[in-house]
Amino acid sequence: MMKGTWVSALALTTSLFLTACAEPIEQSWLEQKYSNSTSRFMSIDGNRVHYRDEGVGEPLVLIHGTASSLHTWDKWVQGLKPNYRVIRMDLPGFGLTGPDRADRYEIEDDVRLLTAFLARLGIEKVHLAGSSLGGRIAWQLALEYPENVESLTLLNALGYPQERWPLPIEMAQWPIMDKVMASFSPRFMYASGLKDVYFDESLVNDRLVDRYFELSRYPGNLAAFPERVQARLDKDASLISGIRVPTLILWGEEDKYFPVENAHQFGADIANSRVHVYPDVGHLPMEEVPELSLAHFSAFIRENAVQ
């Protein structure tokens, strides 16, 4: 075969592969699989936000991280909803919410959406917990609206300048590659990436990988990913010392990307705070040690109950 033919064949193969990776999964199929009887959709500023609102009692709001969804809190919710009103949502660009209609992915945009969401639900005071990116959003909201936040819980939260990011996030910040990442999403990348996130690799099973992979294919989510990770996320650490609400910091010691030193830095910068570090745990304590992390969280919110 002539060289030009090989090049053409390679180009065609690459094009077909990228096209296959970009093809979205049917929206209705994804919504049927990843919603349940407690799922609701709320229209906020042109976005259709997927959320769940379960239980009765003091309201708790749980915010997930990058590339994740409200499902990351499943184990906590089972333990919390008998005694609390537990609210969680898929952030724009993730899960069944899909992309923001105007590609607004700065932290200030998330805070604006979250405050509008809570106002629509009639919630004035809340216990707020956030994981990773969700933690970054949570502490910004607590900083700006301390009168509305009874307590703040940060789980391996974003806050301090990053020396490195998980590889997919790094790649999505590179010129040209960001355009590729907007349409390139083979399943094996999720399997590999999740093994970096979880210290206990036995938790990375087919069901988990399918969830991350399939929800990334919800219409618009792939294209939103580079926009999301190119936002200003780790540039405002100087603001953290201004947080005045009671704060709990929960951290997996074996997080490869958000080092445990950050947990202690949060503890030093936030005056009214305490820190729990979990050995042999990665980036998601609420999934790897759900019982222990939930026990610490439950005790903390009882101490800071609405008066």
Q: Please work out, in degrees rounded to the nearest 5, the angle formed at the alpha carbon of residue 302 by the alpha carbons of 72 and 125.
A: 75
Question: Which amino acid, one-letter code, is at 112?
Answer: R
Superfamily of domain 3-303: Alpha/Beta hydrolase fold, catalytic domain (3.40.50.1820)
What's the residue count for the chain?
307
Per-residue pLDDT of 268-283, as tens digits, reads 999 999 999 999 999 9
Which tokens is 12 given?
Answer: 């065609």
Distance from C-alpha of 125 to C-alpha of 149, rounded to nearest angstrom: 6
Per-residue pLDDT of 25-51, as tens digits, reads 899 999 999 999 999 999 999 999 999
Of the candidates 141, 165, 113, the one whose C-alpha atom is nearest the C-alpha of residue 245 is 141
Backbone angles phi, psi at 49, to 5 degrees: -90, 125
Residue 184's pLDDT is 66
> pLDDT category, 17, cuts 50, 70, 90?
very low
Which tokens is 169 given?
Answer: 């996030």
DSSP state at residue 274: E
User: Hunting for tokens 């705070």 — which residue is that?
Assistant: 273
Please state, in angstroms and as integers, the Cα–Cα distance from residue 227 to each residue in 15, 116, 181, 233, 260, following that order: 23, 22, 10, 12, 27
Domain range summary for the chain, segments of one domain joined by +:
3-303
How many CB atoms are located within 10 Å of the residue 219 CB?
Answer: 13
